Amino acid sequence: MDAHKAHEAAQTQEMIDTGQSADGAFEHGSGAALSDANNKTPLTACLDEFSPPFTIVEPQVQVAPFVLSSPHSGRKYPAAFLEASALDPLSLRRSEDSFVDEIFADAPRLGVPLLCAEFPRAFLDVNREAFELDPQMFEDALPTYINARSHRVISGLGTIARIVSDGREIYREKLTVEDALERIDRLHYPYHEALGTLLDATSSRFGAACLIDCHSMPSCLTPGGYGSRTRQRADIILGNRHGTSCSPLIIEEAERVLTECGYKVTRNDPFAGGYCTQHFGRPIAGSHSLQIEINRALYMNEATFERTQGLTELRRDMGRLVEAFIELDVDSLKSPLQK
């Protein structure tokens, strides 16, 4: 075993034993959910550990028509989920947008609400339709209304993912449909209800609303390529569904500010925006959505999941971005029908 693999193995065992990563970020749920007196399956019972399933940090006074969402930064992994997985905790975290909630944590202080998922993306992905499910993952038949043909399901990354981001299978055995529907009812629906409520209230107050969907991405295009300089991604990728999900003013301002901060910024390739960006991005109705993908090498060690000094700098610069958004002309974001 080489030194890197030995380090990962030792850290993984520490995480299992103590419920913490080296930097204290990983949360290992209690083992109480492994059995349940009401005959729930362990994976259904462990949903009680996500109560509430998200955190909303609201400003004292909202000053601009923007709402930030961090749907993939949840890092609480219940014991029942770890038991059901074929992967160790570090491997499960490959799909996590680690610390993105911290990177954008200054938004509420500046006057913009921030919504963050508490559950991990590997357990349920809210940046999907509710029922993007892979029939091959389940021991019983799925309802006829599910979407089994989306490119996300086919690639293994549906609402309940089959694989983590490096392509490895998550589960030891097939799941039950009951488990899937319970996760959707108790995690996906509440998250989207909360997000929709924030955006509706914002629109009512300002006459327009813009979702900033906050994510991070591996630094390299290929699994296992951490540290490679041959296929590295840009520092930040802005996604507006190829010009359809937000006013040009929003993405142009984001690109200007981040470029001035020294980042290499590109648009839409390979991340143009997921379900949330598409669903909430209707500029003709005064509803805008912009996805921000941040290269993880800027702020963390991708092998050990430890924060680096870059996180402090990135948080400062994302605060500058929020401030720039706040200064945008609200009238320019309203529906043309309102003008």
Does 313 reside within a domain?
yes
The CB-side HSE value for 192 (13 A sphere, CA atoms) comes to 18
Does 316 reside within a domain?
yes
Question: 108 φ, ψ to 5°?
Answer: -60, -40
Q: What is the pLDDT of residue 14?
A: 41
Does 308 reside within a domain?
yes
Q: Are strands 300-301 and 306-307 parallel, antiparallel or unpaired?
A: antiparallel
Q: What is the pLDDT along the chain (339 residues), one digit of tens a residue?
A: 443 334 334 443 343 333 444 444 556 554 433 334 456 789 999 999 999 999 999 999 999 999 999 999 999 999 999 999 999 999 999 999 999 999 999 999 999 999 999 999 999 999 999 999 999 999 999 999 999 999 999 999 999 999 998 899 999 999 999 999 999 999 999 999 999 999 999 999 999 999 999 999 999 865 444 444 445 789 999 999 999 999 999 999 999 999 999 999 999 999 999 999 999 999 999 999 999 999 999 999 999 999 999 999 999 999 999 999 999 999 999 998 776
Q: What is the pLDDT of residue 233?
A: 84
Report H helices in 150-274: 151-154, 177-183, 189-206, 248-260
Q: How many domains does the chain have?
A: 1
Q: What is the pLDDT of residue 2?
A: 41
**Could you tell me which of 263, 84, 97 has the C-alpha nearest to residue 165?**
97
304 exposed, middle or buried (CB, 10 Å; 0-12, 13-18, 19+)?
A: middle
Q: Are strands 54-57 and 114-117 parallel, antiparallel or unpaired?
A: antiparallel
Please answer whether residues 244 and 282 qualify as being in contact, where contact means their C-beta atoms are separated by less than 8 angstroms: no
Does 223 reside within a domain?
no
The enclosing domain of 25 has a CATH number of 3.40.630.40
Does 302 reside within a domain?
yes
Does 76 reside within a domain?
yes
Stated pTM of the model: 0.88
* Alpha carbon distances (Å) from 40 to 43, 86, 128, 139: 8, 21, 26, 16
Which residues constitute the domain of residue 275? Answer: 3-116+193-217+233-327
Question: Which run of H or of E encompasses 292?
Answer: strand 287-295
Does 166 reside within a domain?
no
Per DSSP, 308 falls in state: -
Does 95 reside within a domain?
yes
Please answer whether residues 281 and 209 qualify as being in contact, where contact means their C-beta atoms are separated by less than 8 angstroms: no
